[in-house]
Structure 1
Amino acid sequence: MNAINWPDGFVPGFSDNFCSNEVIVSCLNSKEIWPLLNQPLLWPTYYQNSANPRFYDDKGPELAQDVRFYFETFGFPVEAQVTEYIAPADGEPARLSWHGWAGEEGSDDRLDVLHAWLIEDLSDNRVRILTQEVQNGKPAKELAKAKPNPMINGHQEWLDGLVAAARARQSR
């Protein structure tokens, strides 16, 4: 199976917080998952921890390499920019990553994250959806100590909602 591509400054184990969630489900494929992830305006329809998505520079409604966008999650207003964008293709996994930030640079409330997704088709009509996030900053240190872990639980809800939304589209 494939792995996330991590840029310098966002390598798990050398950060303030890291979370990883994954599902492998049958009877779905990457091309059915991708449209729901690739359009931030759809996120709040299946993931209640996402709100008020919008694009900058007359971009959207789909993400693309280097596109800037905004959304709110976990109580943070997140400014974001896509750092890796590879749509699904036969035999190759889809990849989507963005650098997200909240707060002023150098301030105690600054949070920098790299949120990455990997969606790959597996044998026997299965799809693997992996989402991982690296976080740096004082808020990340606080999130890392929280029990239960809000990042793990929130991202699992995102995965579950994504799969449910894709299955609902199949039955239309």
Structure 2
Amino acid sequence: MKGKTTMTTQNAINWPERYLPGTGDNFVSNEVIVKGLTAAGVWRYLVDTSTWESYYDNVADISFPQGGGPELGEGVRFRFGTFGFPPLDAQVVEFRPPGEGVPGRLSWTAAQNGGPEERLDVLHAWLVEDLPGGRVRILTQETQIGRPAAELAAQRPNPMLNGHQAWLDGLVRAAS
């Protein structure tokens, strides 16, 4: 191998045991690494839900039934529609803005209640970190539990995998 080799260790999502990847009914992981952006610049568009619909067409009807918003923060509760599901009730469970040498971390749980056929339980997590060489890494992963999740996972291609890639691509465009 010619040239200089750079070793790097990248951070990972913090997973509550209930949502550990591979233990639910649907899991996807999407990641981009791009040059010319910063974690702080990306974070701004990720946590401001008023910008989501401008760069991601698979989200709608974002609301904050208990007040607050449109910015996400620790413990914030919100509702949104996605993937054709009725609006999901969500709550931010991890919120740490990026800092010098520290990745930004955002995750929320979301649920659709109802009978066993409709029940859906989700953890959607984001990690945004600056990398050497003026690059930023954006990782999003989601575990879903429930029959609607299993039905999504059985589709080819997986709509959640493609939908989250569209979210990443839109986020990068917005932050550019």
Equivalences for residues 89-100 of structure 1 within 5 A: 89-100=99-110
How far the C-alpha of 1:107 sits from its partner, in A, is 2.6
Counterpart of 1:138 (choices 143, 147, 154) is 147
What amino acid maps onto 2:160 in structure 1?
A: M
Separation in 1 of the partners of 2:27 and 2:13? 13
What amino acid maps onto 1:87 in structure 2?
A: P
What amino acid maps onto 2:174 in structure 1?
A: A
Are 1:84 and 2:90 matched, yes or no? no
What amino acid maps onto 1:101 in structure 2?
A: A
Tell me the TM-score normalised to structure 1 length. 0.94
How far the C-alpha of 1:3 sits from its partner, in A, is 0.3
Counterpart of 1:22 (choices 31, 38, 46) is 31
Contact 1:41 1:54 in 2 (8 A): no
Separation in 2 of the partners of 1:63 and 1:102? 20
Question: Cα deviations across residues 37-95 of structure 1 (Å, max 9, x unaligned)?
Answer: 10112110100001111113221121111110011100111110001000111110000
Partner of 2:20: 11
What amino acid maps onto 2:126 in structure 1?
A: W
Partner of 1:170: none
Counterpart of 2:113 (choices 99, 103, 120) is 103
Are 1:58 and 2:67 matched, yes or no? yes
What amino acid maps onto 1:164 in structure 2?
A: R
Where does structure 1 lack aligned partners over 5 or more consecutive residues? 168-172
What amino acid maps onto 1:54 in structure 2?
A: S
What amino acid maps onto 1:73 in structure 2?
A: T
Where does structure 1 differ by over 2 angstroms across 4 or more consecutive aligned residues? none
Separation in 2 of the partners of 1:8 and 1:128? 24
Are 1:35 and 2:47 matched, yes or no? no
Separation in 2 of the partners of 1:49 and 1:2? 27
Tell me the TM-score normalised to structure 2 length. 0.92
Contact 1:119 1:128 in 2 (8 A): yes
CA-based RMSD of the aligned residues comes to: 0.9
Counterpart of 2:160 (choices 151, 156, 159) is 151
What amino acid maps onto 2:135 in structure 1?
A: R
Secondary structure at the residue paired with 2:17?
coil
Contact 2:116 2:147 in 1 (8 A): no
Separation in 2 of the partners of 1:163 and 1:68? 25
Question: Cα deviations across residues 115-167 of structure 1 (Å, max 9, x unaligned)?
Answer: 00000000000000000000000011111110011011000000000000111
What amino acid maps onto 1:131 in structure 2?
A: T
